[in-house]
Amino acid sequence: MKEFKNSSLIRKELISHAFYDQYFNYLLKIYPDSVRCFAQLKDRLVGYYSQGNPILLKAGAISDKSWYVCEGMVIAYYYDHNKVFSVYAIFEAGEIAQQPDSFMTGMPSDVFLMACPDTHLLELSATDIEEIYKIYPGTEHISRMVLAYQWRKLQDRDRLMRFEGEDRVKQFYKIFPSVKLTDKKKMMQKIISSYLIIKGPTLSRLRKKLIEEEDISVGGGVEQSELNN
């Protein structure tokens, strides 16, 4: 897609302490004993940030990296039999983005992973993960917990399909609070439209209605420019 032109994933020279803390706090919630391998992890983590919409994983490649999203968003998508762009998972800040089937089995992935603009990531390779598990027996429990979460994450979309029209759009913005209702970027609207299986013009109309309802509820005024999408 043309949205991917001039996109790149740029390696950071330094990773901020805040991002390290964010990642380690995430691991502590999953597995409190993970603290014993933090020093090894810190030496192996690689930081990146995105310009445009860089591809992290291509369909047909093996998912051999785990991406922790510090800021921004990562999208999992594929092209259906009609070559239509189809989004099936959205990973926000505070989540790990990976393709669980491929990561577990070493088989080629059937989906793409794409970072949204200005996304900050911490990368850990499957090889490094295996080495850490050898050094610290028992910590492989972390991967099992992460993968279990990945499977639950993939069910988010199925739950949304229980709703119709406006209710489906409302629920989407509740599930993904980092996605702003007033975000008019074409790529983001394309992602939401695909994820919700709602045509672009219909999504635009429902967004306008929700913006108007939100404005009425707070007694403010929405600028016309917000409604022209």
pLDDT in tens, 177-193: 889 888 888 889 999 99
Same domain membership, residue 187 and residue 100: no
Token pair of 124 as six digits: 């850990």
pLDDT tens for 200-224 read 999 999 999 998 887 644 444 434 3
Given 123, 154, 185, the domain boundary residue is 154
pLDDT tens for 155-180 read 888 889 999 999 999 999 999 988 98
Strand partners, 114: 55, 75
Token pair of 93 as six digits: 């800040």
Q: Rounded to whole angstroms, how far apart are CA atoms 209 and 131? A: 52
For residue 72, what pLDDT is reported?
95
Token pair of 173 as six digits: 């913005």
For residue 157, what pLDDT is reported?
87
Name the nearest CA neighbour of 77 among 2, 154, 10: 154
In angstroms, the Cα distances linking 128 to 16, 17, 64, 134 are 21, 21, 10, 10
Same domain membership, residue 52 and residue 100: yes
Same domain membership, residue 172 and residue 102: no
Helix axes 165-175, 186-196, angle to 10 degrees: 110
CATH number for the domain spanning 10: value is 2.60.120.10
Given 134, 154, 174, the domain boundary residue is 154
Q: Is residue 98 part of a domain?
A: yes
Q: What contacts 147, CB < 8 A, 6 or more positions away?
A: 100, 103, 104
Same domain membership, residue 94 and residue 6: yes
Given 130, 154, 178, the domain boundary residue is 154
User: Rounded to an integer, what is the distance from CA 135 to the centroid of its chain?
Assistant: 30
The CB density around residue 67, as the number of other CB atoms within 10 Å, is 22
For residue 163, what pLDDT is reported?
95
Same domain membership, residue 87 and residue 187: no
Same domain membership, residue 213 and residue 109: no
For residue 221, what pLDDT is reported?
41
Q: Is residue 159 part of a domain?
A: no
For residue 88, what pLDDT is reported?
87
Same domain membership, residue 168 and residue 146: no
Residue whose entry in the numeric block shows the structure tokens 């420019």: 225
What is the dihedral angle through the alpha carbons of 200, 204, 205, 209, rounded to the nearest 10 degrees? 150
At 113 the three-state DSSP class reads: strand
Spans in the chain with pLDDT lower than 70: 1-5, 215-229
Structurally, the chain folds into a number of domains equal to 2
Q: Is residue 135 part of a domain?
A: yes
Same domain membership, residue 174 and residue 124: no
For residue 5, what pLDDT is reported?
66
Q: Is residue 10 part of a domain?
A: yes
Q: Rounded to whole angstroms, how far apart are CA atoms 32 and 214? A: 41
Same domain membership, residue 125 and residue 21: yes
The CB density around residue 1, as the number of other CB atoms within 10 Å, is 9
Tell me which residue range forms the domain holding 8.
Answer: 2-154
Convert 16-34 to b/e letters by CB count within 10 Å (16 or more is b): eeebbebbbebbeebbeeb
For residue 19, what pLDDT is reported?
97
